């Protein structure tokens, strides 16, 4: 299995505090030593760092713990390989272009039989289930919409497609097109919203404590999503299962459409 | 304009010596201060580092000058913006997936009217001529071949398509699919092959000198391609103009097919 970390904020925000905790879990306080990666959106662009080395001992991770890259959307992943050998091409997050936007995808779980789903335009470079699922997802989106649809239409379509993939196994996933952070969970994913009045937080995995009130303005809002809580003195909420949760501008979008299987289960 | 650096070797090779020179030209000894990027192939995977900061003063460039990432194919670029603002999404090299392979592209020059060429599957994320040309190139390749063709067929097709783009202006370009380093030049691009017996080289842009005989084996072969010579004590050759030069396993492939306009100009 693996661990995920996502961030969505309404102002460019420094992820180093949360990333330090995740990086420790890659071969330090956690067993996810089979590579790691992180993608930062800056405007329409995204830059990703990948390393097949354990993040707890990675020179590149050390740089990112020291160097403040600010972003409104970040997706990070530490890997414990199950399908696909330890190799750069199997290291999440995966990225592809669709409709002139940079898409990023990271997955925790296993999807039984996903490789039987045929692919058309997007093909995996590596051998993971996860990249195959991502290629399938983008192919389906492209078949539904010839250009970037409205946020509501995209939220709805992604919710349906992720519910479909989630029927194949454990599918905790973070996806973004640079505007929205999508989090789909069918097993375990937590989140919190940091907003005014900001307080103090202490990492679980490392002796690191931050007073957010000294580095924020009253209008700042930051959502953090993680496979398990990263701090000991904040309230982390579990994401609802089998549902697409949508974050934009540092807020949970409350009326995100439900996934198809939920709607059909309604009375 | 911009500067390019490419490397192709038959064994995973450390690019730091050459990269140090290129990085200096990004705001130090040269005016290419509008961002930089570098892509390293490792097996089927590629990892890229991008930064809209000048490479001469970039923390990420500093890490890469200290940290030995070894690769058989590297493509790097320092940018001096002409079309497209200074921004992460306009920073070369650009990457896309085609036929399940990671493609990388970096360009020096300007292409008049290239944005009038219609695009189908691949769309630019930024606003440069260069990324538009790359998207057009990959779309054309996909239209010609439904899966990865033989090396000869791909060499031929890329030569024709680059000659076509080169008719629009200055088009010095480095492209790779992870197996081959393609260099197309219609203005200025130099290369050298380092092979046994290895000697000493001294950078032009920095007080740095290396004795390659202490770090190589007799079978190693390394091609370096650059917009202008990087060392003062080696023989750099100019690449032939309006021709696709093909490098595989640290060797210039001597019978690379000529580009279409060259063939039609033959008696």
A43-57, A127-141, B43-57 — which one is most confidently predicted on average?
A: A127-141
Contact B97 A46 (CB under 8 A): no
What is the predicted pLDDT for the residue at A183?
98
Q: Which among B45, B50, B63 is the nearest to A125, CB-wise?
A: B45
Contact A125 B97 (CB under 8 A): yes
Separation of alpha carbons A225 and A247, rounded Å: 10
Catalytic residue among A2, A135, A162, A185: A2
Contact B89 A59 (CB under 8 A): no
| Average pLDDT over every residue of A27-50 | 92
What is the predicted pLDDT for the residue at A265?
42
Q: pLDDT, tens digit, for every residue of A204-221?
A: 988 899 999 999 999 999
Catalytic residue among B2, B135, B162, B185: B2
Is residue A2 part of the annotated active site? The answer reads yes
- Sequence length of chain B is 267
Q: What residue in B sits closest to A71 (Cα-Cα)?
A: B88
**What SS3 state is found at A165?**
helix
| Average pLDDT over every residue of A150-169 | 97
Mutation to test the A interface, candidates B41, B44, B74, B92, most A Cβ within 10 Å: B44
pTM of the model: 0.93
Residue pair B122/B133 in contact (Cβ under 8 Å)? The answer is: no
Domain boundaries, chain A: 3-265
Residue A262 has pLDDT above 60, yes or no: no
Separation of alpha carbons B228 and B172, rounded Å: 12
ipTM metric: 0.92
What is the predicted pLDDT for the residue at A267?
39
Residue B116 burial (C-beta neighbours within 10 Å; 0-12, 13-18, 19+)? exposed
Contact A96 B100 (CB under 8 A): no
Q: Which band of pLDDT confidence, cut at 50, 70 and 90, is reported for residue A254?
A: confident
Residue A261 has pLDDT above 80, yes or no: no
Q: What residue in A sits closest to B60 (Cα-Cα)?
A: A63
Separation of alpha carbons B5 and B236, rounded Å: 13
Q: Which residues of B touch A47 (CB under 8 A)?
A: 48-51, 88
Contact A45 B91 (CB under 8 A): yes
- Tokens matching residue A53: 């080395």
- Tokens matching residue B177: 């699919």
Q: Which band of pLDDT confidence, cut at 50, 70 and 90, is reported for residue A255?
A: low
Separation of alpha carbons A61 and A35, rounded Å: 11
Mutation to test the B interface, candidates A12, A38, A46, A89, most B Cβ within 10 Å: A89
Q: Which among A43, A100, A126 is the nearest to B44, CB-wise?
A: A126
Residue pair A19/A97 in contact (Cβ under 8 Å)? The answer is: no
**What SS3 state is found at B266?**
coil
What is the predicted pLDDT for the residue at A266?
40
Q: What Rg value do the Cα atoms of chain A yield, rounded?
A: 17
> Could you give the residue ranges of the DSSP H alpha helices within chain B?
16-25, 59-66, 129-144, 151-166, 260-265
Residue (of A119, A95, A39, A76) closest to B96 by Cα position? A95
Residue A173, min C-alpha distance to chain B (Å): 21
- Structure-model confidence comparison of residues A105 and B33, the more confident one: A105
Q: Would you put residue A31 in left (φ > 0), alpha (ψ -120 to 50) or beta?
A: alpha
Q: Which among A60, A88, A96 is the nearest to B45, CB-wise?
A: A88
Q: What DSSP string describes B61-90?
A: HHHHHHS--EEEEEEEEE---SSS-SSGGG
Helix and strand counts by DSSP (H, E) for chain B: 5, 15
DSSP A91: P
What is the predicted pLDDT for the residue at B83?
78
**What SS3 state is found at A241?**
coil
* Side-chain half-sphere exposure of B6, counting CA atoms within 13 A: 34
- CATH number of the A3-265 domain: 3.60.20.10
Contact A44 B100 (CB under 8 A): no
Distance of CA A211 to the CA centre of its chain: 25
- Return per-residue pLDDT of chain B as tens, 267 residues: 799 999 999 999 999 999 998 999 888 888 888 899 999 999 999 999 999 999 999 999 999 988 889 999 999 999 888 878 889 999 999 999 999 999 999 999 999 999 999 999 999 999 999 999 999 999 999 999 999 999 999 999 999 999 999 999 999 999 999 999 999 999 999 999 999 999 999 999 888 999 999 999 999 999 999 999 999 999 999 999 999 999 999 999 986 555 545 544 444
């Amino acid at each position: 299995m693996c661990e995920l970390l996502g961030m969505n904020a309404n102002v460019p925000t420094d992820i180093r505090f949360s990333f330090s905790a995740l990086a420790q879990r890659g071969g330090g306080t956690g067993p996810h030593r089979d590579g790691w990666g992180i993608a930062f959106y800056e405007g329409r662009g995204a830059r990703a760092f990948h390393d097949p080395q354990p993040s707890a001992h990675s020179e590149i991770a050390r740089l990112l713990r020291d160097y403040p890259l600010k972003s409104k959307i970040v997706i990070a992943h530490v890997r414990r390989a199950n399908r696909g050998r330890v190799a750069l091409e199997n290291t999440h997050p995966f990225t592809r272009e669709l409709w002139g936007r940079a898409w990023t995808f990271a997955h925790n779980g296993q999807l039984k039989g996903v490789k039987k789903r045929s692919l058309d335009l997007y093909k995996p470079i590596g051998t993971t289930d996860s990249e195959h699922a991502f290629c399938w997802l983008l192919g389906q989106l492209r078949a539904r919409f010839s250009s970037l649809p409205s946020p509501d239409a995209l939220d709805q379509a992604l919710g349906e497609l992720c519910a479909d993939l989630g029927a194949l196994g454990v599918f905790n996933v973070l996806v973004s097109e640079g505007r929205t952070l999508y989090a789909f969970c069918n097993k375990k994913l937590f989140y919190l919203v940091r907003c005014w009045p900001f307080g103090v937080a202490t990492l679980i995995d490392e002796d690191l404590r931050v007073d957010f009130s000294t580095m924020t303005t009253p209008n700042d809002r930051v959502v953090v999503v993680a496979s398990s809580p990263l701090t000991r003195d904040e309230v982390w909420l579990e994401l609802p299962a089998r549902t697409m949760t949508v974050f934009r501008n540092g807020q949970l979008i409350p009326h995100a459409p439900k996934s198809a299987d939920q709607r059909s289960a309604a009375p």
